[in-house]
Amino acid sequence: MPRKKKSETKSLEAGALEGALVIYTDGACSGNPGPGGWGVVMYHGKRKKEMSGGERETTNNRMEMMATIKALEAIKPGFSGPVILFTDSTYVLKGITEWIHGWKKRGWKKSDKKPVVNKDLWQRLDELNSARDVRWEWVKGHSGDAGNERADELATSAVPGKTKA
């Protein structure tokens, strides 16, 4: 099997998949816990939408999750096409695609019988994910992927108290 050129292994960009909504999300935290921010970049055809927000006292994992929640909430109600969501958070990716099934079966308890951390956000994310055709993809952070880099910039600049560049 021939190796892909580096440019071919890059994540999807605007218009790369006909009809799909391509989303990049990221979270940032200054201290963990501490002030944090989230960023979202959405591509649909030639259109692009950016969003960000922050909280004064949070964790990096909560900001990673908040980015995905805000992105899925922002999808227009009439949109029925596929959604491809890129995250650099293995916590979010594994949580929503693998771990959540066991958590729900065990009444929102982890395998060690302890309560699931961030249950409120997992329940909201599960609800939003179930209502859509979402393909979850992992992208390596800080690796030059344009969508991920922009989501990171948005998240970092949204951290409360952070000086805007």
Q: Is 26 a catalytic residue?
A: yes
- CA triplet 98, 48, 123: central angle to 5 degrees? 30
Q: Is 153 a catalytic residue?
A: no
Catalytic choice (44, 88, 95, 145):
88
Residue 14 has a CB neighbour count (10 Å cut-off) of 16
Question: Tokens standing for 59?
Answer: 């964790």
Question: Tokens standing for 1?
Answer: 């099997």
Catalytic choice (27, 36, 39, 95):
27
> What's the order of all strands across the beta sheet hosting 83-87?
47-58, 34-44, 21-29, 83-87, 134-138
Q: Is 152 a catalytic residue?
A: yes
Catalytic choice (112, 142, 144, 161):
142
Residue 133 has a CB neighbour count (10 Å cut-off) of 12
Sign (positive or negative) of CA dihedral 128, 133, 138, 139: negative
Catalytic choice (37, 145, 147, 152):
152
**Cα–Cα distance between 91 and 70 in angstroms, integer?**
17
Q: Is 8 a catalytic residue?
A: no
Catalytic choice (64, 95, 145, 147):
64
Active-site positions? Answer: 26-27, 64, 88, 142, 152
